[in-house]
Amino acid sequence: MATHNDTLDIAVLPGDGIGREVAAACIELLAATENVAEGPKLRLTTHNAGAQYYLESGDALPKSTIDACRSADAILFGAMGWPDVRLPDGTEIIPQLDLRMEFDLYAGIRPIRWFPGLPQILSDDRSRQTDLVLVREQTEGLFYARGTGTVIEDREALDTMRITREGTARVSEYAFRLAKRRKDRRGSARVTCVDKANVFSSMAFFRKVFDEVAASHTAVTSDHAYVDAMALTLVKAPWTVDVIVTENMFGDILSDLIAGLVGGMGMAPSADIGDNHALFQPAHGTAPDIAGQGKANPCAMFLSGAMMLDWLADKYEDQRLELRARLIERAIEAAFAAGNVPIELKGGSGCAEMTRATIAAMPEAIRAVA
Ligand code: ATP
């Protein structure tokens, strides 16, 4: 078992736009958890990266930041990129993709759960039971083409999808282990392989490897869905979905769709998990349209912070960290119940108000979860 010496090092990369705003709010929130709950201290150290830093330094992801991420216990990430800031080849600054490759963060975990206070987007009341997790493969798939696509004589363009046995097996494995852990709470466990196996040989191979992994997880039900059918299910009956595992590009698209089920990107946390490192970030980007106005919803970042605490709790087998994760979730729910609704969800609370309300709810929330 890994051990910690009662202080955990967290590399914080706030980035650009609302990434900076929600990261600052999350630092405040995590510090507040230490005032009401026991457990190791988090030493949160901020590091440079992103589009703004690229303008200042000519480097979007300096080596010193990569080194700090490598030696940290976990990475907490805001958001990076800015439409006007481009690399010489015209592409946007996306250091999060470089970090995924650098640390082999192959499993993108995107949980979506409805709780009282959130808008009910779908008219069917059963949508309140929505509690699903999308697991996105993030080191290959169609994103493998990033930086390697070709344009032939200004006539046609080609991007290649890459699916490997190892890449598919490890992300499927992760999805089954996750489903098994959720089984205690839900009473059942199912992993759905989302693909387009009826059209592409790469996707038929993805399904074949998934089935091989499924065969060694008999306690978990497994099934398949084509990505188009799953898009429909996620809109018509998301409460029927448990864990889904899918290729990189499909996962990219479906994760925005599922964020819509709970009101928007500001409610959608995520974790990028590898065998040795993990990065936690809201599923949203830098939102230039609202940046600098104090309107950002910090809940996705807060919930990503809770996912980080859960991952650290697992890594160090320290239940005090898990309790702090539950504390954050409970405090967010209590802030909503007390009438604080983010501007994104048509309420009146900006980033600072939501942060204050969530922290204010902690003393009571700790009694509820302890
Ligand atoms: P990317 O291309 O990296 O996804 P983006 O800025 O184009 O970045 P997002 O930031 O993911 O797209 O979100 C799209 C829109 O959703 C934003 O323009 C903004 O209006 C809204 N949005 C996203 N995150 C939040 C948030 N935390 N709080 C409030 N609104 C948000």
The answer to whether the beta carbons of residues 178 and 186 sit under 8 Å apart is no
Letter string b/e over residues 125-157, b meaning 16 or more CB atoms within 10 A of that residue's CB: eebeebbbbbbbbbbbbbbbbeeeeeeeeeeee
**Ligand 1 neighbour 263 (Cβ under 6 A):** no
Q: Does residue 358 belong to any structural domain of this protein? A: yes
Which residues of the chain fall below pLDDT 70?
1
Which of 261, 290, 315 terminates a domain? The answer is 261
Q: Are strands 278-282 and 7-15 parallel, antiparallel or unpaired?
A: unpaired
The confidence score (pLDDT) of residue 40 equals: 96
Q: Does residue 138 belong to any structural domain of this protein? A: yes
Residue 98 tokens read as 């470089």
Distance of CA 266 to the CA centre of its chain: 11
pTM (predicted TM-score): 0.94
Q: Say how far apart CA 321 and CA 313 lie, in whole Å.
A: 5
What is the CA(287)–ligand 1 centre distance, in A?
Answer: 4
Looking at the fold, whether 90 and 199 belong to one and the same domain comes out as: no
What is the CA(81)–ligand 1 centre distance, in A?
Answer: 11
Task: State what percent of residues in the chain have pLDDT above 70.
Answer: 100
Q: Whose CA is nearest to atom 6 of ligand 1?
A: 287
Domain with 144, as residue range(s), is 120-261
Q: Whose CA is nearest to atom 21 of ligand 1?
A: 287
Residue 200 tokens read as 């592409």
The confidence score (pLDDT) of residue 1 equals: 60
Residue 101, CB-side half-sphere exposure with 13 Å CA sphere: 11
Q: Say how far apart CA 210 and CA 142 lie, in whole Å.
A: 18
Looking at the fold, whether 255 and 124 belong to one and the same domain comes out as: yes
The domain tally of the chain equals 2
**Ligand 1 neighbour 355 (Cβ under 6 A):** no
What is the CA(116)–ligand 1 centre distance, in A?
Answer: 23
What is the CA(307)–ligand 1 centre distance, in A?
Answer: 20
Which of 200, 231, 261 terminates a domain? The answer is 261
**Ligand 1 neighbour 285 (Cβ under 6 A):** yes
pLDDT, tens digit, for every residue of 113-172? 999 888 899 999 999 999 999 999 999 999 999 888 999 999 999 999 999 999 999 999
User: Tokens 């320290």 identify what position?
Assistant: 318
Bridge partners for 364 per DSSP: none
**Ligand 1 neighbour 286 (Cβ under 6 A):** yes
Looking at the fold, whether 92 and 29 belong to one and the same domain comes out as: yes
What is the CA(285)–ligand 1 centre distance, in A?
Answer: 5
What is the CA(298)–ligand 1 centre distance, in A?
Answer: 12
**Ligand 1 neighbour 344 (Cβ under 6 A):** yes
Looking at the fold, whether 289 and 334 belong to one and the same domain comes out as: yes
Q: Residue 326, SS3?
A: helix
Q: Does residue 115 belong to any structural domain of this protein? A: no
DSSP assignment of 15-26: ESTHHHHHHHHH
Q: Which residues contact 249 (CB under 8 A, 6 or more apart)?
A: 141, 142, 143, 161
Q: Are strands 156-158 and 150-152 parallel, antiparallel or unpaired?
A: antiparallel
Going through the chain in order, the beta strands assigned E by DSSP cover 7-15, 41-46, 74-79, 107-113, 131-137, 150-152, 156-158, 190-195, 221-226, 243-246, 269-273, 278-282
Q: Does residue 270 belong to any structural domain of this protein? A: no
The answer to whether the beta carbons of residues 261 and 127 sit under 8 Å apart is yes
Q: Are strands 221-226 and 190-195 parallel, antiparallel or unpaired?
A: parallel
Q: Whose CA is nearest to atom 2 of ligand 1?
A: 285
The confidence score (pLDDT) of residue 56 equals: 96
The confidence score (pLDDT) of residue 286 equals: 98
| Probe residue for ligand 1, chosen from 284, 290, 303, 340 as the CB with the greatest number of ligand atoms within 8 Å | 284
**Ligand 1 neighbour 333 (Cβ under 6 A):** no
| Probe residue for ligand 1, chosen from 91, 265, 286, 301 as the CB with the greatest number of ligand atoms within 8 Å | 265
Looking at the fold, whether 292 and 170 belong to one and the same domain comes out as: no
pLDDT, tens digit, for every residue of 228-246? 999 999 999 999 999 999 9
Going through 174-248 in order, the beta strands assigned E by DSSP cover 190-195, 221-226, 243-246
| CATH number of the domain where residue 177 is located | 3.40.718.10
**Ligand 1 neighbour 297 (Cβ under 6 A):** yes
Looking at the fold, whether 252 and 141 belong to one and the same domain comes out as: yes
